[in-house]
């Protein structure tokens, strides 16, 4: 993915699962969500992602955790070896962002922060959604 790609014109894509794929974070939304781009075949796919394995506690300092999340993303210039787990019931792609050349992940670094709790996600394919009118 080059710097000149126009990511604003890409449609969102949420049907995938990978153990290892190159992912570029193009925009952070909050300490748990971001927009990322992967290259699948010859096409770029834009994903609405959520970090897998953690959530903010009720007493969390949002601004400090958002700054921590952004600094973790900026350490790697937004480029990661991502593990895409699945899509949750809200349509977010659940992702673990692994650093290149380091045995660590953004998810692990965020779990070390104060105000973060472990969360077990329900994957879309694993839950039984009962939708009634």
56: CATH: 2.40.50.90
Distance CA 6, CA 4 (A): 6
Calculate the alpha carbon distances from 64 to 67, 74, 113 in Å: 5, 15, 9
Cβ(47)–Cβ(36) below 8 Å: yes
Residue 29 has pLDDT above 90, yes or no: yes
Q: Is 114 exposed, middle or buried (0-12, 13-18, 19+ CB in 10 A)?
A: exposed
Which tokens in the block code for residue 8?
Answer: 């604003």
Average pLDDT for the chain: 84
Is 127 within a domain?
no
Is 4 within a domain?
no
> Highest mean pLDDT: which of 20-24, 87-91, 128-132?
20-24
Residue 105 has pLDDT above 60, yes or no: yes
Q: Quote the number of domains for the chain.
A: 1
pLDDT of residue 78: 94
Is 93 within a domain?
yes
Q: Is 100 exposed, middle or buried (0-12, 13-18, 19+ CB in 10 A)?
A: exposed
Is 133 within a domain?
no
Is 126 within a domain?
no
Is 129 within a domain?
no
Domain that holds residue 92: 9-118
Is 39 within a domain?
yes
Is 132 within a domain?
no
Secondary structure class of 18 (helix, strand, coil): strand
């Amino acid at each position: 993915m080059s710097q000149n790609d126009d990511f604003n014109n890409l449609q969102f894509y949420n049907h995938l699962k990978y153990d290892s794929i190159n992912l570029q974070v193009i925009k952070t939304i909050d300490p748990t969500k971001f927009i990322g781009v992967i290259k699948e075949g010859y096409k770029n796919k834009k994903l609405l992602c959520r970090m897998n394995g953690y959530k903010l506690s009720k007493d969390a300092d949002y601004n400090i955790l958002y700054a921590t999340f952004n600094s973790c993303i900026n350490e790697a210039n937004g480029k990661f070896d991502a593990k895409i787990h699945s899509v949750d019931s809200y349509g977010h792609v659940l992702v673990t962002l692994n650093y290149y050349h380091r045995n660590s992940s953004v998810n692990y670094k965020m779990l070390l922060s104060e105000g973060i709790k472990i969360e077990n996600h329900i994957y879309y394919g694993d839950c039984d959604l009962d939708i009634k009118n």
